[in-house]
Structure 1
Amino acid sequence: MTKLILLMIFFFFSFQKSESSSDKICYKTSYYFINVAETCIEYIYNGDNLETHIRSETIGLVKIFKDIVYEGFAVADLKTLKPKVFYFLQKEGDVVIEHMYKFHGNFVDFNKTFKENDREIKKVSKKIEIDNPLDPFTAHLKLLREVEFLDKGELNVFFNGKVYSLPFRTLSLEPVFMIEVKPRYDIEGYLKPTGRWILWINPDSKKIEKMLIKIKIGKVKLYRENKN
C-alpha cells in the first residue's frame, strides 16, 4: 500500500534559474488516514539541463510488512524539456525492476531489467522509434507550463516500451490551480494507476499542495510535508 505519485509527480518553480541551483520538496502519503510513505522530489538546474530526482518509500509499520522503494531521475533540456535520460527503479521486497531510457532524436534506447534476490532474471533491450514524446517525470513539468493557457489537452509520454496519451483538463484556476489527469501507464505492482487523479497547485509558487490519486490498491492522498 504504497504510493507513488512518482509517475504523476511534478512541480514547477521557474525556469529562470542560475547555472547551478536546486529545489526540493517532500510529501507524506496517506492511505485511509494512515501515513504509509514519504516522497521527496528534487529539481536540479545544471547549466542547460534540468534534472528531476525522486525517491518514495514506505515508512513506519507499513515498511515492516511492505518494504517498497521507488526512485529515479530524469535529465531534460532546460528550455525545451526534450528528454535525454530517464532512470526508474521499482523495489518491492526482493523484486527489483529497473528502467533506463536514453533519448536520441526520434529514437530511444530502451532497457528494462528484472531482478530477484539481487540476481538478474530477465533483461529487455531494444531501440524504439518514437515521435517527440516525454519521459514520465519531465512530462508533468511540461503540463505545468501549459496548464495556465490550455483548458484541456494531452501529452505523449514514453514509458515501459510504449507511448501513452496523458489527457488533462483544468477544473479551476482560483483560488488554486485544480487539475484532473488520467494516467494510463501499464506498470507492474502497487503503482498501477486507475481512474482520475486530482492535483491542487499553488498558483504563486507553482508547487503541488496535495494530490488525490487512484492506484491499484485504492485511493491515496499526497500532501506537502514542508511549506518552504
Structure 2
Amino acid sequence: MIALLNTVSYGIEEKECYFVRYLFITVAEACIKYNISSGEIKIEAEAHTVGFFKLMKDISYAGFSTATADFNSKEFFFRKKEKESIELHHYIFGAKWISYKKITITGADEKKEVRKIKNNGYIDPLTATLYYYRQVKERKPIEKKIFYNGKEYFVPYKKIKIKERDIKINNRTYRTVYVEIDPSKIKVGGILQPTGLWKLWIDKNKNRLIKGEIRIRIGKVQLEIK
C-alpha cells in the first residue's frame, strides 16, 4: 500500500472496519484508515465495545501515527479508556531521540511521565501494521523493533507458517497470506494485553487484514472485515 510495495502509488486513502467477536458474539467494532501521500504515511485507528458487552466493559481506543514512506516513525498518539481509567501516549520520533510522554488518569488521580529515550530506529505500533504486511507478503524478515510504553519489542513472524489461502467472508472470497506471530511480550496492559499466538490472514492484493484470531487477556478473539 505504499510506494515500496510496487503495487500501489502515492495519493491513496483507504479505510477498513472490522467486527470483533468473542464466543461468537460481536463485542466490539474497530476501524483503521491509511492515508499515503507526499512521501508520508498517516494512520488513524479506533475501536469501541458495543451492545451488552459495552454495558459490562465500556472500553474505547483511538490513535494516530505519521511516518515516512520507508517506515521511519515521526509521531504517535494513543488514547486508551477502560472503565474509569484513561491512558494517553504521545511520542515524537527524532533522528536520535524519542520525546516520550504518558499520562494515566484514574478517577481524580493523574500521573504523568515525560522523558527522552534514544531512538534505535524504532517503529510505532500503528505504522508497524503496514510494515509487517509488506515484510510478510514479500517473505522478508522483520528488522525493526516496535516502541511502546517506553520499551522496545522485537516480534518476528513464523516464516515456516506462511501460506497462501482462500477464505470466504460474507459470501466473498479473498486470496490471503496466512501468518502466525506471538506478540505476548509487548506490555500493552488492560484487556488488549496479548497472551499468546496470533493467526492473521492478510489480503494478498492489498495491504489490509482480512481476518485475525488473536489471544488477549479475556481469551481468543476473532476479527473479520466488514
Fold equivalence (TM over 0.5): yes
The aligned runs of 1:151-166 (5 Å cut-off) are 152-153=141-142, 155-166=144-155
Task: Give the deviation of 1:152 after TM superposition.
Answer: 4.9
Q: Which residue of 1 aligns with 2:216?
A: 215
Distance between the aligned counterparts of 1:89 and 1:17, measured in 2? 28
Letter in 2 for 1:45: I
Is contact 2:86–2:104 with CA below 8 Å preserved after alignment? yes
Q: Which residue of 2 aligns with 1:67?
A: 58
Question: Quick one: structure 1 residues 82 and 120, their matched pair in 2 at CA, closer, same or farther if it must change by over 3 Å?
Answer: farther
User: What is the TM-score when the length of structure 2 is the normalising length?
Assistant: 0.87
Distance between the aligned counterparts of 1:48 and 1:206, measured in 2? 17
Letter in 1 for 2:217: K
1:205 correspondence with 2:195: no
Is contact 1:28–1:35 with CA below 8 Å preserved after alignment? yes
Is contact 1:133–1:163 with CA below 8 Å preserved after alignment? yes
Greater relative contact order (Cα < 8 A, sep 6+)? 1
Task: Report SS of the residue matched to 2:130.
Answer: helix
Question: Quick one: structure 1 residues 206 and 152, their matched pair in 2 at CA, closer, same or farther if it must change by over 3 Å?
Answer: same
Q: Which residue of 2 aligns with 1:56?
A: 47
Is contact 1:153–1:169 with CA below 8 Å preserved after alignment? no
Distance between the aligned counterparts of 2:210 and 2:72, measured in 1? 26
Kindly provide the CA deviation profile for residues 123-177 of structure 1, in whole angstroms up to 9, marking residues without a partner as x: 0000001310100111121111121332654531100001111111242332320
Letter in 1 for 2:32: I
Q: Going by fraction, where is helix more abundant, 1 or 2? A: 2
Q: Which residue of 1 aligns with 2:136?
A: 147
Task: Give the deviation of 1:204 after TM superposition.
Answer: 1.7
Is contact 1:90–1:98 with CA below 8 Å preserved after alignment? yes
Where do 5+ consecutive residues of structure 1 fail to align?
1-10
Task: Report SS of the residue matched to 1:146.
Answer: helix
Distance between the aligned counterparts of 2:114 and 2:8, measured in 1? 34
Question: 4+ residue runs of structure 1 moved beyond 6 angstroms?
Answer: none
Q: Which residue of 2 aligns with 1:189?
A: 190
Aligned residues: 211
Question: Quick one: structure 1 residues 180 and 151, their matched pair in 2 at CA, closer, same or farther if it must change by over 3 Å?
Answer: farther
Is contact 1:154–1:168 with CA below 8 Å preserved after alignment? no
Q: Which residue of 2 aligns with 1:6?
A: none
Equivalent of residue 133 in structure 1, options 122, 125, 128: 122
Kindly provide the CA deviation profile for residues 45-82 of structure 1, in whole angstroms up to 9, marking residues without a partner as x: 242221110000000111111110011001011x2110
Q: Which residue of 1 aligns with 2:169?
A: none
Q: Which residue of 2 aligns with 1:115?
A: 105
Task: Give the deviation of 1:187 after TM superposition.
Answer: 2.1
Q: Which residue of 1 aligns with 2:93?
A: 103
